[in-house]
Structures are given as structure tokens and as C-alpha cells.
Amino acid sequence: MDYEINPEDVKAMQERGESFFLLDVREPWEYQISQIAGSTLIPMGDIPSRAHQELDPEEHIVVLCHHGVRSLNVTSWLRQQGFEKAQSLRGGIDAWAKRVDPKVQLY
């Protein structure tokens, strides 16, 4: 499984009703500005202390941030911790808003 996934592929997974966990690792103020419906906020700094309590290592986890840098770092860390199905949303919520859902606010 690739470390990154395109926004269009995530949208297709949603439309097919596939089960996955959408993990937003941005800061709370960013999440208040714009978010993808169904996402769960765990800021990047909280991941080490919360991942093993709140995430399922067997579940497909799609990690997102603003532009895809933080989410790729979190994805790499999660993979090292045994979350083998973690993937980073390539381009972050910015790419999602521009390419998938223009109702999501850019910032």
C-alpha cells in the first residue's frame, strides 16, 4: 500500500461506501476553518500519546493536514508503530477543496 493517496481516490472510496478512518492532524483552529465531513481531529502533537488508544491498527487510516506534509510524517510514524494501512492524503485539505469539494473553505 502506497504511503500517499489522491483526493479523488478517497472520494471514490466514500462513494463506494468503503470503511476507512479519516484522521485530521491539523491544529484545532485549522479544523474550525475547514474540515472534511466524517473526519476526526487528533492534532499531530497528540498522535504519539493517543494513537494506540484511539486508532485501530487493522483499519485503513487516511491522514490529512493542510498541504500533506504533516500527514505524511504522521503516516510514516504510524506505519513504524504497526498501522500498516495508514496513508497520507496527497496535497491535504487544500487539494481536496480544489479538486474534490469546492465547498470546503481554503485558507
How far from chain centre, in Å, is Cα 78? 12
2 contacts 41 by C-beta, under 8 angstroms: no
Catalytic residue among 22, 62, 64, 65: 65
Q: How far is CA 62 from CA 9, 34, 46, 99, in A?
A: 11, 17, 17, 17
User: Is 91 among the residues known to form the active site?
Assistant: no
Residues acting as catalytic residues: 65
